Chains A and B, each alone.
Chain A
Amino acid sequence: MKQAAELLQGDKLHGPRSEPLKLRWYRKRTFRNELSAYLFLSPYLLLFTLFIVIPVLAAVGLSFTYFNTVQAPKFIGLQNYVNLLTQDSEFMMYVLPNTIKFALVVGPGGYLLSFLLAWLLAQIPRRSRTLLTLAIYSPSLTASVAMAVVWLIVFSGDSTGYLNAFLIKWGFINEPIQWTQSPHYLMPIMITVTLWNSMGVGFLAMLAGILNINPEMYEAGYIDGIRSRLQEVWYITIPSMKPQMLFGAVMAVVGTFQAGDIGVQLSGANPTPQYAGQLISNHIADYGFIRYDMGYASAVSVVLLLIIYGFSKLAWRLFGEKDGER
């Protein structure tokens, strides 16, 4: 009787595979499996929790407090967010517009540029492709600190600076320009430099994606009446590499918001001269590590994370596979 009940239960749980002995073995095996899975995962889960999950949660928690790192955090509710929206004139006047401008040019710009370059590279034979890919990717291999050295020398403010000397020699200007200290030029320089090394992992993924499209897809397309390169790209290339396009897009969004350091590195100051190159990430560092208002800085961090998440969702909507297509 008891056995029958067990049998019945086993049936309910796992379908009709139900001698008790086999069931017990099966359960033991799945338990073992789970255990070994977690053993494999444990180092990552531990570090991931410590250095990613907890910081993100802590950022959210701290954003509701006043915290100057000396005294314990004091709960102040939504005050930081209210201040961000109503009191922080630098944020509203410079930081947010700068970030939007920077992100709109560098994000889609860098993304289109990396797709275009990847597509062009796919049209030429392997050997020359490898060489040109390396050349185009090389700025991305360079640490941003090393890049800053180059740009600081090129954009040096006196007449011995490379750009100034060049422009003076060709008669475009008479007086040297203080490139990196000038609120007028800082942002364009930041955008140029960031575009320069925006060929990151996403670019490599897109290149690989294009190269791996089955040639038969193109043949089929020609039979279906595709009549130009543009149609080919639009109807075959892009749809065939949607997963790589999405990965590239997410990486582009992250890269764009990560690139904030460059303004501070170039101008050598945080805040940048007249807030000309101030981006959200600089604003966070300014409040967190210069003014020691960690609560407020955390609130700005949360806003930044939400913005990034929003843009990534947008990318998902554009390139994510629909559930039915899988």
Chain B
Amino acid sequence: MAMASFHGNKINPSRFGLGQLKYFALLVPIAAFMVLPIVFIFSQSLKPLDELFLYPPTFLVHKPTFENIDRLLSLSDLTAIPATKYLFNSLIITALVVSLSLIISAMTGYALSKKQFRLRKSLFEINTIALMFVPTAVTIPQYLVVERLGLTDNYLGHMLPLLALPVGVFLIKQFVDQIPGELIEAAQMDGAKDLTVFSRIVVPIIKPAMSTVAILAFQLAWNNTETSTLYMSKETLKTFAFYLTTLSTGIENNVAGQGLAAAAALLMFVPNLIIFIVMQSRVMDTMAHSGIK
């Protein structure tokens, strides 16, 4: 049979072939271009003071030093509050948001997929519509709600608004859909209660989806500046991401501050990167089921 030449290159190939060179030729430069700002954050944050002042400015660092990061973590003259306090706030808030939103999304996704109740379909549809509710569009009424609930100047004000994660519920529900109903019924026949079915059978199977939601929740909480800006007036309650915004104002004309801001940006970026690297195969596993049907 006369096969056209393009058939030779398969989607998702198992090994390298010369025919793939053209794809690499396109992808490698693009990837390099995309990664430039990240390289820049690393390089800039590791530059000693004299290199920051170099003219013309250099892209890569020559004599890397941890001076900036040291200065950032010991610094307290800017706001009288050490950067570590903001870091501490962010860590606590992020840890709680990730774990709570995971539990909540998993329970909700399971119920929406496997439980029979009257509002099942409509609730899932409402959730799918909620995927589109851009937070910025509801900032103002959300602010009023938070204020009414007395959550301003309160750690809960950072956390509660982030816990309902429509994307998380959506991804988990789609993933639970593939668990055969018979598996759950069999366990129920053996006398397993709902909570046991959920924790012993469902949760272990949906771990990939939960990892994905964990990443999304992590990014949301860790990168979050809005709740600090809007709901917190006490400086000691604000997050590290917010602190970074205070460092970045005016850095265009403040070369010494650039190293500091870059060091803070680095501290923001590295945890995101590590978590994504560790969990990337699970993420891809989840995403295969993420379609909207």
Contact = CB atoms under 8 A, between A and B. Distances in A.
Interface of A: 30, 33-34, 36-38, 40-41, 43-45, 47-48, 50-52, 54-59, 62, 117, 120-126, 128, 130, 132-139, 141-162, 165-166, 169, 180, 196, 199, 201, 204-205, 207-213, 215, 218, 222, 227-229, 232, 237, 241-247, 250-251, 253-254, 257-258, 260-261, 265, 268, 281, 284-285, 288-289, 294, 297-298, 301, 304-305, 308-309, 312, 320-321, 326
Interface SS of chain A: helix
A141 B135 CA distance: 19
Contacts of B145: 50-51, 54-55, 58
Contacts of B194: 36, 40
A207 B139 CA distance: 32
Interface string B34-48: 110110110010000
Interface residues of B, number: 113
Given A37-B117, A135-B31, A222-B7, A146 B107 contact: no
B80 interface: no
Contact of B108 (A44, A121, A146, A152): A44
Contacts of B216: 201
A271 B131 CA distance: 28
B273 interface: yes
Interface in B126-178: 127, 129-145, 149, 160-161, 163-164, 166-167, 169
B273 A138 contact: yes
Interface string B246-286: 01111111010010011011001100110011001001111
A136 B132 contact: no
Interface in B4-29: 4, 6-7, 9-16, 20, 23-24, 26-28
A143 B139 contact: no
A218 B133 contact: no
Contacts of B144: 55, 58, 294
A145 B241 contact: yes
Interface of B: 3-4, 6-7, 9-16, 20, 23-24, 26-28, 30-32, 34-35, 37-38, 40-41, 44, 55-57, 59, 103-105, 107-108, 110-112, 115-118, 120, 123, 127, 129-145, 149, 160-161, 163-164, 166-167, 169, 194, 198, 216, 219, 222-223, 225, 230, 241, 244-245, 247-253, 255, 258, 261-262, 264-265, 268-269, 272-273, 276-277, 280, 283-288, 290-293
A25 to B, nearest CB: 15
